[in-house]
Amino acid sequence: MPDMPDLTRRRLLAAGTFAPLALGATRAAGQQAHGTPLAGDFLLPDRPGEKLRWAVVGLGNFAVGEAIPGFIDSRHARMTAFVSGSPAKQKDLGSRFGVSRFYDYANFDSIANDPEIDCVYIILPVGLHAEYTIRALKAGKHVLCEKPMASTSAECEAMIAAAKAAKRQLGIAYRIHFEPTNVLARQLIEHGEIGDIRFVSADHGFNADPQYGPHKWRLEKALAGGGSMFDIGIYGLNTSLMALGREPDELSARYIYPRDDPRFREVEGGIEYRLRMADGVSVVGSSSYSWNPYISQQRYMGSKASLFMKPATTYNRNTITIEGNGPTREVGAGNPLTQFAAQIDAFSLAARANTPHKTPGEMGLRDIRLIEAMYRSADNGGEIVKL
């Protein structure tokens, strides 16, 4: 049949003119297409109306560049509100992400009356974590709070108490627990790929620029809570304990930064630490605000091989190299950008069931207690602190 104008073709198809011809040409008489049930347990995304509804508190660089895009790929969550002191930023981001409910810090408590908010993601400077987490919990919302949890262990304890009183879930945003390469590293260790772990090292740092906005507040104790260990060193601490699956019984630490550097009048600029486990395994780590270039690396030494990660805890590129027990080899995992969606989804499911999140408030409290012990040790010349 010669080609025909598209309009004519559409009319004939609509009238069923081609149906008998197609049937005879493509299948035997009596042959029919049938729907079949799905033969598997598929992880399907929630329907839009079933996704948990989130308010994002704080619209800084990290929120806009890393956390908020995670909602785009989320299966169980959607953003419904922004909390910020910048109406212009709210309006701009709201138009981009389909968010139209806006709050500022003065009327924040009125989220209690908003049925379109189930969960709150606190992405503020550390010094504000406790206040806004507790206020959100009192408003009846589940809370995922960025790391580090708070400025002091006393604040962490108050946050946990508020969650229990409100009967809501509190999670700390330790994204590394959801980052594919770190998840794979933990699985390799658990499955004996390097044998028994004998030693762990962790080094994380960058050169802080007080003229750069995202760095400036990190050098102010009222907002940052602490120094480099609070901000960048906590990655090595938390990730090492995640891989080991156990906690130390003593530690020691020393400061490792120029004490006359004006950047560090309020917070520590660098620290080295050693955690000791009851079975003899040690974790030796360091963090700094005076290193160049940026560094993020973890090494796990085992009885059969070692597992080295550099970079180890970045947003978009992490690697694993296994040395020993055969040829040196590199292994990879999935796209690291999925860590934010995976973290948001995991907390959404925990909130829906009202069961503890994978990285709960108690984990955040543990890490702040350990960092406080490091500072006590460093203040006393590196003395051993029993835990």
DSSP assignment of 291-309 equals EEEEEEEEEEEESS-EEEE
Tell me which DSSP letter residue 267 carries.
Answer: S
Residue with tokens 């605000």: 289
What the block records as the tokens of 3 is: 């080609």
Give the residues across from 383 on adjacent strands: none
Q: How far apart are CA 326 and CA 305, in angstroms?
A: 9
Task: Indicate if 294 belongs to the active site.
Answer: no
| AA identity, residue 87 | P
List the alpha helices (DSSP H) in 191-300: 213-216, 221-224, 228, 234-244
| Catalytic residue (one of 235, 273, 300, 375) | 235
Distances in whole angstroms, Cα of residue 288 to Cα of each of 95, 175, 222, 296, 383: 39, 21, 19, 11, 20
Give the residues across from 143 on adjacent strands: 120, 170
Task: Indicate if 235 belongs to the active site.
Answer: yes
Cα-Cα-Cα-Cα dihedral sign, residues 36, 41, 44, 46 = positive
Residue with tokens 């981001």: 93
**Beta strands 197-207; 250-255: pairing state:** unpaired
| Catalytic residue (one of 51, 141, 147, 255) | 147
Listed as own residue / partner, the contacts of 324-330 with beta carbons closer than 8 Å and 24 or more positions apart are: 324/194, 325/193, 325/194, 325/195
* Catalytic positions, written as ranges: 147, 235
